[in-house]
Chain A
Amino acid sequence: MSDSALEAGKRAPAPHYAREADRPTSLVAEFGSDTPLRLDCGVDLAPFQIAYQTYGRLNADGTNAVLICHALTGDQHVANVHPVTGKPGWWETLVGPGKPIDTERYFVVCSNVVGGCLGSTGPSSTNPATGRLWGLDFPVITIPDMVRAQAMLIDRLGIETLFAAVGGSMGGMQVLQWASAYPQRVFSALPIACAPRHSAQNIAFHEVGRQAVMADPDWHNGRYFEHGIKPHRGLGVARMAAHITYLSDAALHRKFGRRLQDREVPTFSFDADFEVESYLRHQGSSFVERFDANSYLYLTRAMDYFDLAADHGGALASAFRGTDTRFCVVSFTSDWLFPTSESRTVVHALNAGGARVSFAEIETDRGHDAFLLEVPEFFDIVRAFLQSAAKTRGLPAETR
């Protein structure tokens, strides 16, 4: 690409997501070149920044902090209006005053993971060394890298020990990593709908998504922003494929069946005749508006690489040996992306390591996505677990 084209690219108004990437609508912790983030790939990332949101107040002892770890396409806007979509926070039903994760009792922190696109340094951030967006020059990151960056943020906030680390899916992987890497800093852990490793089937689905992105001619080898475009179609297809894995056949059937969309008879074309088709197309296109394609590549890769047992000589129990953390593992019956058997593997490892662990499988037909939805039994167990942990931690009783 010629320099003049680059200049032209710079003059063009930056897309909304790019502005969020460098100057997010949230709090930002900046880390200078003296405090690099040691990445598993061997690179020291510096300087870098972590975008985050907080809710509630940290108590005088610093004992009521709850870290929420977001999933693959989530972000730090867990309980406030999203700056890009204008929609409510992704866990607003669970997090807030009087909610199961009660912001009147707990100090809730949620950060955008490193590699993300909502303000933490990632492939859509500007590389300070070159003045250009990182793109594929950004180093490959892992789940432990994300957690290491979060730990630096938690240090910065003056929090020694988290009262709880909570997260679902990729967020659940981070919770497991937190509990394994910093057992003394996690009083209680709530890994939800997750696994200690990404399965071959899950890696396969991710690969389909990544290939869809990279096959889009607008992707331009990851430097699409310099062309003033985004790989809409590829990322949309990736999202459509992934979205199917988040649901269950039963949920799709209940929601859509084989109903036709705004018509009585099929058109005998490749229009979206079925309701389920237009639903997926909508999911694809709305996702493209708020998410960066390169971040999608990096974060799916981070999940693929995750294997907590392999990091501990093949024995998962070694990852949790001698831990004092209280665990509550939750899975959902219809989740086939992270099936209950994966959660049981975690529970068995924790048991073998003598950990204090509870486990519940929630019955629902809503698939993996259930962890983002208002499922009363799930909410009950989150509330119950945190309340009993709070009592043990010596936090004051509920105000209401």
Chain B
Amino acid sequence: MVTQSQALQSAATAPEAPKVYRGDHLLVAQMVEPGSRVLDVGCGEGDLLRLLESRGVDGRGIEISREGVNHCVAKGLAVIQGDADTDLVNYPDDAFDYVILSQTLQATRQPRVVLEHLLRIGRRAIVSFPNFGNWRMRLQLLLKGQMPRTEHLPATWYDTANIHFCTIKDFVQLCDEINVKMERAVALDRSGRPLRFNAPWWFWNLFGEQGVFLLSRGKR
């Protein structure tokens, strides 16, 4: 007879991962130590969670859409239907090693509060978001005089779920303000590849399509 713990162990290696991963997902996965406990807030259809579980991470998710939750449950992932803005308050302190907010920050009502929760619930947080300071965005607004639309952010201003855009510079400022330590910061280009590692902030802010940050509590 297969014991429960044996079965759970085999489960850790069970999920078959899709062959092609998004660049930001691969980067996030690299930041997570194997064997840790991870909460992915806004986990969508669970692609990142699957990638993480295939690397021996104990992953949980929160997802607002029922379709997303269904997909995740079908993949054997532990995902709860819920809203990052209202549900994080229910999680106890230090419940996870990492809490991930992948491409979700700009869709929250209170990004600052959410960020604070992330670092209360997890020892570390990984946040990725589209950089609104990217030159294409700036150029569209400058030349067209309209809210920018890109392949990553294709929705029009009135029907987008994204309500709090920020630039890499803005985000760094917020982290400063709430005393969050940036352990790693990476800007990704259009195809999800990291930009030059030693480039100055203004360069990232202008040319990065996304920012990915590994954060931990307090500088002091």
Contact = CB atoms under 8 A, between A and B. Distances in A.
B72 to A, nearest CB: 7
Given A62-B1, A384-B70, A187 B79 contact: no
A63 B6 CA distance: 13
B79 A358 contact: yes
B76 A161 contact: no
Contact of B95 (A62, A351, A391): A351
Interface stretch (A169-177, A196-204, A291-299, A360-368): A360-368
B5 interface: yes
Nearest to A328: B73
Interface of A: 61-63, 160-161, 184, 187, 324, 326, 328, 344, 347-348, 351-352, 354, 356-363, 377, 380-381, 384-385, 387-389, 391-394
Nearest to A359: B80
A356 B2 CA distance: 19
A388 B73 contact: yes
Contact of B76 (A61, A62, A344, A392): A392
Contacts of A361: 66, 81
A61 B2 contact: yes
B92 A389 contact: no
Contacts of B174: none
A161 B1 CA distance: 10
Of B5, B72, B90, chain A has the most CB atoms within 10 Å of the CB of B90
A384 B8 contact: no
B90 A187 contact: no
Contacts of B2: 61, 63, 393-394
Interface residues on B, range: 20 to 34
Interface string B62-88: 000010011011111111111000000
A361 B73 CA distance: 13
Nearest to A324: B4
B70 A360 contact: yes
Contacts of B75: 388
B155 interface: no
Given A187-B4, A187-B7, A392-B14, A357 B78 contact: yes
20 contacts: A160-B1, A326-B78, A344-B90, A348-B90, A351-B90, A352-B95, A354-B95, A357-B80, A359-B82, A360-B66, A360-B70, A360-B81, A361-B66, A362-B66, A363-B66, A384-B70, A388-B73, A389-B76, A392-B10, A394-B2
Contacts of A393: 2, 7
A160 B4 CA distance: 11
Interface string B1-29: 11011011011001000000000000000
Given A358-B69, A363-B66, A384-B73, 7 more contacts: A187-B7, A324-B8, A326-B78, A352-B95, A357-B78, A392-B10, A392-B14
B157 interface: no
A396 to B, nearest CB: 13
Contacts of B66: 360-363, 377
Contact of A392 (B8, B72, B74, B92): B8
Contacts of A354: 95
A324 B14 CA distance: 17
Interface in B109-154: none
Nearest to A345: B90
A115 B1 CA distance: 34
B91 interface: yes
Contact of A394 (B7, B82, B90): B7
B73 A358 contact: yes
Q: Which of B7, B77, B82, B95 has the most CB of A within 10 A?
A: B7
Contacts of A359: 69, 79-82
Nearest to B69: A360
Contacts of B8: 324, 392
Q: Most chain-B CB neighbours within 10 Å: which of A328, A354, A377, A392?
A: A392
B41 to A, nearest CB: 13
Contacts of A389: 76
Contacts of B78: 326, 356-358
Contacts of B77: 358, 388
Among B14, B81, B82, B90, find the residue whose CB has the most chain A CB atoms closer than 10 A.
B81
Contacts of A348: 90
Nearest to A380: B70
Contacts of A344: 90
B101 to A, nearest CB: 17
A161 B8 CA distance: 14
A357 B91 CA distance: 13
A61 B1 contact: yes
B76 A324 contact: no
Given A358-B69, A358-B79, A388 B74 contact: yes
Contacts of A392: 7-8, 10-11, 14, 76
B79 to A, nearest CB: 5
Nearest to B77: A358
